[in-house]
């Protein structure tokens, strides 16, 4: 026995090396793109061992693929988790996560300030599986405790919410989940493992849209579920799909057979097998390239965002700025605890003059790209009321943090003075009626 974490390396070393060693047959140093569907068996017994989950190896790329596996290990390592499961998008990652342990009639509690796409997936599409999402204001963790019911199987929250600059009190939520014997699931997309380490604060599972900062260049959609391996799925009878017999594998109990590997094994061998939302090898490769520079990009994303937010807060045409990196933010204290290296680079502000001014502003931007994504090297701007939230009523838009005056920014890696100058001229045009 030796010290606490033998064979430990720093974050920057792991973002370049974790999961990726030289390919042993050829020596290829960069991760090869295994653009390939299926894998030869040595013999019938080898095939049987693979299908029975008795040995490690590849069968078919819907379940696992060697390029995707490298990305899975890379992200799992950066989150300090046990294993990762990559899939086609962040939405697929959320679907896959709940699919592992939810049964019809089960419910879960989630923040009412989640990214709007998650609210729609949980509140509408999940109902078709008879999964009930209860949306709660998590600024007061006591409300989460009040909302717990015997059918509640998880608590779901974003570490840093898109887009409103809301930071979750992960420690308090982790304590509640632990008491209730259910997992805390954290969407760490906006923060990335560089800014926030949810497992350090009591989270059990982390999900990502790898489309954003992890891939970083706006090239590839993808998602990932990381299991900490620390949740005891056998502590109560709530999680029968892991602790009970699995009919598709001759009554095997995943938790008994695979221990802390059970969740990730199930997510591949049952989840990806039957939901089929697999990540393409090329997307895994692009995302691996992105992660190699994650720390450098996040540092610059954060310093640029901080400068832009400070500029906007002091601007006469701006009504308010919601960025957790500003001392004026009610989430500034939580950000210092959970995101000590920076509060990310996505935030909202209010433009004076309401809806029309918001429309004029996005159309007047020259350097900011007007589109619906975040976490790109390019700076992005969106006026939710006229685009993503256009179908909603005024009241619904305001509740969703997408009121008529709200503008969302995702600050990129350009020269920050250029970004400030572009917003300055756009704000001047927005103020002209």
Partner 1 sequence: MTPPLTYSNAALLKILRSVKTIAMVGASTDWSRPSYFAMKYLQEKGYRVIPVNPAKAGQTLLGETIYGSLSEIPDAFDMVDIFRRSDAVPAIVEEACGLAPQKGIRVIWMQLGVVNHEAAARAEAAGMTVVMDRCPKIEFGRLHNELSWGGFNSRVISARRRKVRLP
Give the residues lining the site for partner 1 (CB under 8 A). Answer: 1-9, 13-14, 17-19, 21-22, 24-25, 27, 29, 49, 52-58, 64, 66, 68-70, 72-73, 76-77, 80-86, 249-252, 256-257, 259, 261, 264-265, 268
Nearer to partner 1, 230 or 332 (CB): 230
Q: How far apart are CA 272 and CA 283, in angstroms?
A: 16
Residue 109 sits at φ, ψ, to 5 deg, of: -105, 135
Q: What is the closest distance, in whole angstroms, from the C-beta atom of residue 286 to partner 1 in the complex?
A: 18
Nearer to partner 1, 77 or 322 (CB): 77
Nearer to partner 1, 3 or 237 (CB): 3
Contact criterion met (CB below 8 Å) for 210 and 196: no
Nearer to partner 1, 94 or 410 (CB): 94
Contact criterion met (CB below 8 Å) for 215 and 84: no
Contacts of 131 (CB under 8 A, 6+ apart): 98, 102, 104, 106, 107, 108
**Sign for the pseudo-dihedral over CA of 229, 231, 236, 238:** negative
Nearer to partner 1, 157 or 224 (CB): 224
Residue 272 carries which DSSP code? I
Q: What is the closest distance, in whole angstroms, from the C-beta atom of residue 213 to partner 1 in the complex?
A: 20
Nearer to partner 1, 256 or 414 (CB): 256
Rg (CA), the chain: 22
Q: What is the closest distance, in whole angstroms, from the C-beta atom of residue 379 to partner 1 in the complex?
A: 33
Q: What is the closest distance, in whole angstroms, from the C-beta atom of residue 344 to partner 1 in the complex?
A: 24
Q: How far apart are CA 179 and CA 88, in angstroms?
A: 33
Residue 421 sits at φ, ψ, to 5 deg, of: -65, -40
Q: What is the closest distance, in whole angstroms, from the C-beta atom of residue 7 to partner 1 in the complex?
A: 5
Q: What is the closest distance, in whole angstroms, from the C-beta atom of residue 73 to partner 1 in the complex?
A: 5
Contact criterion met (CB below 8 Å) for 176 and 257: no
Task: Report helix, strand or coil for 101.
Answer: helix
Residues in the chain: 433
Q: What is the closest distance, in whole angstroms, from the C-beta atom of residue 187 to partner 1 in the complex?
A: 19
Q: Write down the number of H helices and E strands in the chain.
A: 18, 14
What percent of the chain is helix, strand and coil (3-state, nearest 5)?
A: 40, 15, 45
Q: What is the closest distance, in whole angstroms, from the C-beta atom of residue 83 to partner 1 in the complex?
A: 4
Nearer to partner 1, 277 or 411 (CB): 277
Q: Which of 152, 140, 73, 153 is nearest to 111 (CA)?
A: 140
Q: C-alpha angle 72/70/188, rounded to 5°?
A: 30
Q: What is the closest distance, in whole angstroms, from the C-beta atom of residue 307 to partner 1 in the complex?
A: 35
Q: How far apart are CA 73 and CA 28, in angstroms?
A: 18
Nearer to partner 1, 64 or 121 (CB): 64
Nearer to partner 1, 72 or 158 (CB): 72
């Amino acid at each position: 026995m030796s010290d606490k974490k033998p064979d430990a390396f720093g974050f920057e070393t792991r973002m370049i090396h974790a999961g990726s060693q030289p390919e042993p047959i050829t020596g290829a140093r960069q991760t090869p793109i295994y653009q390939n569907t299926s894998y030869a068996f040595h013999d019938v017994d080898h095939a049987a061992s693979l299908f029975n989950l008795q040995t490690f190896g590849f069968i078919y790329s819907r379940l696992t693929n060697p390029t995707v596996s490298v990305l899975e290990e890379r992200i799992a390592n950066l989150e300090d988790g046990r294993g990762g499961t990559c899939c086609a998008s962040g939405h697929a990652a959320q679907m896959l996560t709940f699919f592992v342990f939810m049964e019809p009639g089960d419910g879960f509690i989630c923040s009412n300030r989640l990214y709007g796409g998650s609210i729609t997936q949980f509140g509408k599409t999940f109902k078709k599986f008879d999964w009930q999402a209860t949306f709660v204001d998590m600024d007061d963790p006591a409300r989460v405790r009040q909302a717990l019911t015997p059918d509640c199987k998880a608590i779901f929250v974003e570490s840093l919410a898109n887009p409103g600059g809301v930071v979750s009190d992960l420690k308090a939520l982790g304590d509640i989940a632990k008491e209730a014997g259910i997992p805390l699931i954290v969407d760490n997309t906006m923060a990335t493992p560089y800014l926030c380490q949810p497992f350090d604060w009591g989270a059990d599972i982390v999900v990502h849209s790898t489309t954003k900062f992890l891939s970083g260049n706006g090239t590839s959609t993808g998602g990932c579920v990381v299991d900490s391996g620390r949740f005891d799925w056998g502590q109560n009878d709530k999680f029968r799909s892991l602790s009970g017999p699995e009919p598709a594998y001759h009554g095997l109990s995943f938790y008994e057979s695979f221990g802390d590997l059970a969740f990730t094994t199930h997510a591949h061998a049952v989840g990806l097998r039957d939901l089929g939302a697999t990540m393409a090898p090329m997307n895994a490769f692009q995302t691996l390239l992105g992660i190699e520079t994650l720390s450098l990009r996040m540092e610059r994303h954060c310093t640029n965002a901080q400068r832009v937010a400070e500029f906007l807060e002091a601007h006469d045409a701006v009504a308010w700025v919601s960025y957790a990196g500003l001392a004026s933010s009610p989430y500034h204290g939580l950000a210092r605890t959970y995101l000590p290296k920076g509060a990310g680079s996505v935030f909202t502000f209010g433009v004076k003059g309401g809806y029309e001014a918001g429309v004029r502003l996005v159309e007047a931007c020259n350097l900011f790209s007007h589109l619906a994504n975040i976490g790109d090297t390019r700076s992005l701007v969106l006026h939710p009321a006229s685009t993503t939230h256009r179908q909603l009523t005024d009241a619904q838009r305001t509740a969703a943090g997408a009121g008529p005056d709200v503008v969302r920014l995702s600050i990129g890696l350009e020269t920050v003075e250029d970004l400030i100058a572009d917003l300055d001229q756009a704000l001047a045009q927005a103020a002209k009626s």
